[in-house]
Structures are given as C-alpha cells and as structure tokens.
Structure 1
Amino acid sequence: MARILIATTPATRHVNPMAVLVPELINRGHTVWWSRVKHLKPKWSSWEPAINLIFNQGNLFY
C-alpha cells in the first residue's frame, strides 16, 4: 500500500476534511503521516492530537 504524508495548514476548513480522510486511508491499509496543529482538534474526535501527530496503520506516534 501507499505511504502518504498530509500537512494541513491551521486555517478554517483545512483540518476537518482530513479528519475524515486520514482514518479512511488507514482503514484501507495505507500508512499515513499527518502533521497539524494541536488546537484545531475536531470537536467529535476521541483522540488527543499533538503537533506533528503521526498515524501509522491505525496507531498514533508523536
């Protein structure tokens, strides 16, 4: 599967679309690294973000 790096800017309407896309890519078997800003965590999210948050096969790495 693919290895994907996503970097979102801390601007309105940039983070939420990726909050849907990143888990879907992981569910499809891709390795995804996502860098974003901590204070823009989606309100419905159950995980705690951090600067340079990385998803890798469904696991979180900081």
Structure 2
Amino acid sequence: MNEATTVTLPHGQNLRCDTCQGEIFESRQWKLQTTGMTFMGLDWANRDATCFVCTTCQRIHWFHL
C-alpha cells in the first residue's frame, strides 16, 4: 500500500472523490481480468489498472494508464 497523498491528473487539476469530494488517496495496482484470458489460464497477461482509493469514504477510482 502506498502513502496517502493528493493525485494530480494529466490536465493539472487534483483528483476529487465523486462521492465525498475528498482529495487524499492511496494508490494501488489491480489486474483487469477478462473471461477469455481466465478461461485459458492466462490471467497474468491481462493489463493493469491504476486505482486511487479515497481515504475518507474508500471509493475506488479506476484509471487505465
């Protein structure tokens, strides 16, 4: 788990939680699983998503970067 901090988006504004308007997030990586890759046993080959978890309400904001 990463240290909680603000997140600056590519266009220069800080990320704000859609639910509570919080501005402090923990950064995590999750796999984007697909049915086909799971069926073939190749989950490890799926893409990663960068997720920011709001420290106030725990809402997860997903980004495919």
- Normalised by the shorter chain, which TM-score bucket? under 0.3
Higher relative contact order (CA 8 A, sep 6+): 1
Which of these two proteins has the greater Rg computed from alpha carbons?
Answer: 2
- The TM-score normalised by the length of structure 2 is 0.25
- The TM-score normalised by the length of structure 1 is 0.26
Give the number of the structure whose residues are more often helix, by fraction.
1
